Amino acid sequence: MAPVLEELAQAVIEGDGEQVAALVGRALSEGVPPSSIINDGLVAGMNIVGDRFKNGEFFIPEVMMSARSMHHGLGIVKPLLTRSEAVSKGTIVICTVKGDVHDIGKNLVAMMLEGAGFRMIDLGTDVAPEKVVRAVREQSPEILAMSTLLTTTLNRIPETIRALEAAGIRDRVKVMVGGAPVTQAFADRAGADGYAPDAALAVDTARRLLR
Amino acid sequence: MEGDIPVLQARGKTAPEAWESSVLSLWEQGVRVKTEYDREGDEPSRDSTMVLVVEEPMAEPRIHLAFPGGIEELEKYRQEVLFGVHDHWIRPEEDKWTYTYHQRLSAYAPVADLSSSRVKSPFPPVDQVRYIIDKLAGSPHSRRAQGITWMPTADPATDDPPCLQRIWCRLIPTGEKGTGSRVQGSGETDAELALNMNTHWRSRDAYKAAFMNIYALTELQNWLAEQIGRKMGRKVAVGRYVDISDSYHIYGAYFKEFSERFLKLVKERPFEKRVWRTDDRRVQAAIQAARDELAKEKRD
């Protein structure tokens, strides 16, 4: 592997977006293929961050900073990918449910999943069931990930799942859920396929659902 | 004594030092007690009454890394508290927020019902932040410069009433023995002043909320000092910050994460590696990104 890719992975681990941009430029000038810059540099670095987070060796702001720097690099490299190179591990639509504008947990999960190689479609916060149904219909994701921080909006999770059923598209997508008040028992009752108690385990849950 | 909630004190030169010390002493000395938010199977929460003192609120490093978000979220929260950038989310009729600290402090208007933002108060809104600035600029010795958030008319019945109850500010001369007779080391007769601030909290998620609160409230203290100084035509420094919580707790649901990440990293990393300075190049870039995003949200 080109030494520049190891440096690039290290810059992602350190969350240094400026350095990431410089190293991506250097890798391109050295003739490293864009797909290798992504997989062996940016995603490789983010995978290490994910592992360290899972092992309790990183704080959340560090993960966010690393994800930010990875995004910076992806923004430069992605337009250079050929169609055949732009293959992801799967598409995930993610949102915070209707009535809830909290996005920190949802953003962290989205970044961890993107770092693990998934294509993320982020619908944002306060997302109505009908908007989720439309996104699942139009984007054909493998997974729908929903979260809420509030107990008052907890029931929007089963409501959204019922909206998918009513639209006749529930069997097209796996549903994973999370958020502070959500438990495995609640996820089971709501009819979700998977539950992740935190962002680190969300990647494992997504991988398991696609097996 | 059995049956008492312990009264703990934590002190540090900087905000991250004081906060970390508060959480560690809570973990070691807090009482084990159930809260209404504990879920089935959770261990009882750890609780205390906490008095936390930050000696130099604006001293670097300003940021502890054990908060649940990124720098962008911290900057957005700062602007939420200081400038009300999320006041438009106060829409209880859509199951959204019933208040923000900015709204309660800068436009306090008690209502009897918080189920709709369309319910009108019989009183005109009171800008308590402006009052603090005007009061202290006009009467530097005043002990009345305070702002409250609690609405006894409506808050007790809501699911998520405010944790912050009151902020209180006082100017103290920095001259010898606090008399205002002389600026230390300068020989000038017109003393510098320091804005001291106390904040009072009903209830507090010590692990996941308190640091972000302290960061934003000390930023508010700094902003108030600037505004008062501008109005007085004098330099007003930032004095000590005191943060008093009636119930300062770590929820049982967090114990695993608290032990396996926070305590582990406190043990394994030196303090300098558990904090960031706000002038760190990476932090500055993230703050700018948050500002750009907020500006875009405003335009849209």
Residue of B nearest to A69 (CA): B282
Average pLDDT over residues A81-109: 84
Percentage, residues of chain A above pLDDT 70: 98
Confidence at residue A8, expressed as pLDDT on a 0 to 100 scale: 98
Average pLDDT over residues B114-126: 92
Q: Hey, which residues 24-83 in chain B have their CB within 8 Å of chain A?
A: 39-40, 63, 65-74
Average pLDDT over residues B150-170: 95
Question: Measuring CA to CA, which residue among A47, A49, A45, A61 is closest to residue A7?
Answer: A45
Confidence at residue A102, expressed as pLDDT on a 0 to 100 scale: 83
Nearest-CA distance from B259 to chain A in Å?
Answer: 9
Three-class SS state of A178 = strand
Nearest-CA distance from B20 to chain A in Å?
Answer: 14
**pLDDT category of residue A83 using cuts at 50, 70 and 90:** low
CA distance A184 to A176: 11
Task: Kindly provide the ipTM of the predicted complex, given to two decimals.
Answer: 0.92
Residues of A in contact with B63 (CB under 8 A): 61
Residue of B nearest to A182 (CA): B39
- For the cut 80, the answer to whether the pLDDT of residue B100 exceeds it is yes
Please state which of the ranges A156-170, B36-50, B280-294 shows the lowest mean pLDDT: B36-50
Average pLDDT over residues B191-201: 93
Contact state of B160 with A150 under an 8 Å Cβ cutoff = yes
Residues of B in contact with A198 (CB under 8 A): 257
Q: Which one has a higher pLDDT value, A88 or B171?
A: B171
- For the cut 50, the answer to whether the pLDDT of residue A9 exceeds it is yes
Average pLDDT over residues B66-76: 94
Residues of B in contact with A66 (CB under 8 A): none
**pLDDT category of residue B231 using cuts at 50, 70 and 90:** very high
In chain A, what is the straight-line distance between the N-terminal and C-terminal CA atoms, in Å? Answer: 29
CA distance B235 to A198: 47
Average pLDDT over residues B242-254: 96
Contact state of A59 with B265 under an 8 Å Cβ cutoff = yes
Question: Measuring CA to CA, which residue among A140, A192, A132 is closest to residue A164?
Answer: A132
Q: Over the stretch A118-131, which tens digit does the pLDDT of each residue have? A: 999 999 999 999 99
Place of tokens 């502070």: A180
CA distance B155 to B173: 38
Contact state of B39 with A99 under an 8 Å Cβ cutoff = no
Closest residue to B65, CB basis, from A17, A62, A150: A62
Contact state of B281 with A151 under an 8 Å Cβ cutoff = no
Q: Which residues does A21 contact at the CB level (< 8 Å), separation at least 6?
A: A72, A73, A76
**pLDDT category of residue A138 using cuts at 50, 70 and 90:** very high
**pLDDT category of residue A84 using cuts at 50, 70 and 90:** low
- For the cut 70, the answer to whether the pLDDT of residue B189 exceeds it is no
Q: Which residues does B134 contact at the CB level (< 8 Å), separation at least 6?
A: B231
Three-class SS state of A98 = coil
Residue of A nearest to B41 (CA): A183
Q: Which one has a higher pLDDT value, B206 or B190?
A: B206
Q: Could you tell me if A49 and A115 are in contact, meaning their C-beta atoms sit under 8 angstroms apart?
A: yes
Three-class SS state of B54 = strand
Residues of A in contact with B285 (CB under 8 A): 17-18
Average pLDDT over residues B184-208: 80
Nearest-CA distance from B72 to chain A in Å?
Answer: 9
Nearest-CA distance from A83 to chain B in Å?
Answer: 30
Residues of B in contact with A17 (CB under 8 A): 282, 285
Best mutation site among A12, A52, A59 for testing chain B: the one with the most B CBs within 10 Å? Answer: A59
Please state which of the ranges A12-21, A105-114, B207-216 shows the lowest mean pLDDT: A105-114
Strand-pair category, B31-33 with B45-54 = antiparallel
Average pLDDT over residues B80-98: 91
Q: Which residues does A92 contact at the CB level (< 8 Å), separation at least 6?
A: A113, A118, A119, A120, A121, A141, A142, A143, A144, A145, A206
Residues of B in contact with A101 (CB under 8 A): 86, 89, 96-97
CA distance B181 to B193: 11
Q: Hey, which residues 128-167 in chain B have their CB within 8 Å of chain A?
A: 159-160
Confidence at residue A124, expressed as pLDDT on a 0 to 100 scale: 92
Average pLDDT over residues A22-50: 93
Confidence at residue B180, expressed as pLDDT on a 0 to 100 scale: 44
Contact state of A183 with B39 under an 8 Å Cβ cutoff = yes
Average pLDDT over residues A185-209: 92
Q: How many CB atoms lie within 10 A of CB A140?
A: 12
Contact of B108 with chain A, judged by CB distance below 8 Å, is answered with no
Nearest-CA distance from A86 to chain B in Å?
Answer: 27
Average pLDDT over residues B88-117: 92
Residues of B in contact with A126 (CB under 8 A): 94, 96
Closest residue to A99, CB basis, from B96, B261, B285: B96
Best mutation site among A18, A52, A60, A153 for testing chain B: the one with the most B CBs within 10 Å? Answer: A60
Q: Over the stretch B3-51, which tens digit does the pLDDT of each residue have? A: 999 999 999 999 999 999 999 999 999 999 987 777 777 889 999 999 9
- How does the average pLDDT of chain A come out, rounded? 92
- pTM, full prediction: 0.88
Q: Over the stretch A61-77, which tens digit does the pLDDT of each residue have? A: 999 999 999 989 999 99
Residues of B in contact with A51 (CB under 8 A): none
Query: Phi/psi at A22 (nearest 5 deg)?
Result: -65, -40
Measured CA distances, A66 to A10, A86, A90, A206 (Å): 10, 22, 22, 21
